[in-house]
């Protein structure tokens, strides 16, 4: 199975900050990676697929980059609505796996 490791596990930041979350795979997954945002009590919401393709309706302050084994989700200017938990997920091959999550909290 392909293992996905996110860092950091927790990130403290302020409104207006530029923040980045890293996701590493233990083998190459090309660009077959998605990023999700999850708020308490809600289902995850996909933000980005194929490593860098922004989903319709997702604000342009979110961006994704990377390929192979290292990927990054960046929020260019943090907004109050962005405090949530973020997950990466590969879909290179079965079984699909998720990163352990990064909780983005207010400093």
- Please choose, out of 14-22, 60-68, 73-81, 88-96, the segment that lies near another protein by the rule CB under 8 A: 88-96
Task: Tell me which of 10, 44, 75, 81 binds another protein, using CB under 8 A.
Answer: 44
- Nearest CA-CA partner of 34 in 90, 75, 86: 90
Pull the structure tokens for residue 36. Answer: 């999700």
98 binds another protein (CB under 8 A): yes
Q: Which is nearer to another protein, 75 or 87 (CB)?
A: 87
Residues 6+ apart with CB under 8 A from 6: 21, 22, 23, 24, 86, 87, 88, 99, 100, 101, 102
Q: How far is the CB of 96 from another protein (least distance, A)?
A: 4
Q: How many residues does the chain have?
A: 107
Residue 84 within binding range of another protein, rule CB under 8 A: no
Q: Does the protein bind another protein through residue 66 (CB under 8 A)?
A: no
Q: Tally DSSP H helices, then E strands, for the chain.
A: 0, 11
Site residues (vs another protein, CB under 8 A): 1, 32, 34, 36, 43-46, 49, 55, 87, 89, 91, 94-101
């Amino acid at each position: 199975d392909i293992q996905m490791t996110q860092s950091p596990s927790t990130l403290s930041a302020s409104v207006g900050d530029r923040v980045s979350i890293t996701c590493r795979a233990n083998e190459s997954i090309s660009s077959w990676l998605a990023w999700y945002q999850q708020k308490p009590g809600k289902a995850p919401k996909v933000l980005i697929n194929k490593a860098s393709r922004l989903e319709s309706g997702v604000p342009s302050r979110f961006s994704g980059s990377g390929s192979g084994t290292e990927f990054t989700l960046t929020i260019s200017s943090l907004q109050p609505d962005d405090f949530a938990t973020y997950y990466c997920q590969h879909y290179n091959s079965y079984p699909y796996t998720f990163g352990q999550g990064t909780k983005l909290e207010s400093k």
